[in-house]
Structure 1
């Protein structure tokens, strides 16, 4: 092992000085090195040590920031998954009720446009983003269906039309909760008829559909199974 020519401590090269002797004598042209020092962690900080010149660099840790972003991302994915499950259940329900069902919505109708619309907030872009999830067709009639999930079982006008510019005035909103499947038209919402936990706006009561209430109850049981811990 190479030793310092002054004190005998570790140095990188034979015939050289250790870091302490180098600093003491202020010698510039002699090869020097200290033993590698491991990076140490402090609260909310990371200390990086550079062995060659003895510089200590302190940087704020980005760990906390990353954790927050991960939490936001996981929350977004969680809500997205709940919405997808609700949409799939309602799609299958209408199929079983004898409807022809077509996936509508921005991502199904115009694949790839989502990225193109980033940062664009004109009327056309907003209308595309808010395209209803499904179109159902039976007995010569078609209906726009917007599927929503709410653990609370409540839905009001501002949940879909905050600025009074929702373009699909004839849409029907099908709300799935942990206990019920309810339905309200956008026109009903405009007239102050909201979906509440205790209201009786059940899908099976809608005049637009000749629905099988027993089948709807069966799908409510599916909803309870999927969303009981939400």
Structure 2
């Protein structure tokens, strides 16, 4: 018997081979990223390359070294990411939450924000500073040396423009006391303080308002929805 392979048959065969190769790679990657031995802080989480990369950076970093990363903030806000978040809190030195409202960065304009995080060696307790909803990187540098005078910034200014005013109160110090305040907003009493999800506020007064006026309602999933009324503080 003589077999004759025509063009459609060859194309179909190549397509099946490409699909098989792609599926094999996907399954292998998922199995590797799901390895608790390789990535102990990703237990019970969906396979995620950026989270795996964060953990690899920690494992290979010097005790005296620092690791600076630009990454999404989902491990700080997703309930199931508590193991990774706990470790991140103990390693963070700086965490700058930056938006792309001004289109400064060559990423999708629909990408609402990302974090610039600086990690170091593991500490016994959280001790880092952060700023949130920053529309331009220079605002961080200027806020670090600001004298604290003037009107507090908001997400938008009085002219409904993206607020680019620096202010000392944009810089928040995060320790166990701050995490406890976040827990009072987002978590139930059974959640460990170190597992508390991060709260992103424009300035320290907004954080105080949240602590006093917000209440927590359960979402359909394991996350929480914060319902509150935040007024601009002058």
TM-score by length of 1: 0.25
TM-score by length of 2: 0.25
Structure number with higher helix proportion: 2
